[in-house]
């Protein structure tokens, strides 16, 4: 895994890219919605991850019919702090 870091703006935490896998159609639908809402994909994903990591958002349990991981397609990269990424990963492992 590559560990490029991104130069943060003054007063913000440093971030590095983390990859996620999702279907292309879901990515494009989310991107379209983010654009309609006037936010970036990075902002939308960070808000969702923070909500999940803090226990404010619960996810359906995997294994249900139509499980979103059934069809794997190429991943996309998002930039987030290691602290947020690790917090969301720990919560996901607890579920």
Confidence of residue 11 (pLDDT cuts 50, 70, 90): low
Q: Which of the 8 DSSP states describes residue 61?
A: P
User: Residue 75 pLDDT more than 50?
Assistant: yes
Distance CA 47, CA 16 (A): 16
Longest CA span, the chain:
46
Instruction: State pTM to two decimals.
Output: 0.57
Residues in the chain, total: 95
Q: Where are the beta strands (DSSP E) in the chain?
A: 16-21, 75-80
Q: Which of the 8 DSSP states describes residue 41?
A: H
Class of residue 78 by CB neighbours under 10 A (exposed 0-12, middle 13-18, buried 19+): middle
> Tell me, what's the pLDDT at 8?
43
> Tell me, what's the pLDDT at 12?
60
What six digits make up the tokens of 76?
């996309």
């Amino acid at each position: 895994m590559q560990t490029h870091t991104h130069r943060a703006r003054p007063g913000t935490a440093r971030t590095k890219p983390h990859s996620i896998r999702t279907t292309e159609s879901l990515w494009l639908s989310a991107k379209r919605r983010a654009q309609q809402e006037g936010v970036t994909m990075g902002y939308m994903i960070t808000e969702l991850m923070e909500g999940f990591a803090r226990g404010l958002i619960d996810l359906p349990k995997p294994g249900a019919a139509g499980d979103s991981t059934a069809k794997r397609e190429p991943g996309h990269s998002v930039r987030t702090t290691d602290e947020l990424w690790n917090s969301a990963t720990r919560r996901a492992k607890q579920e």
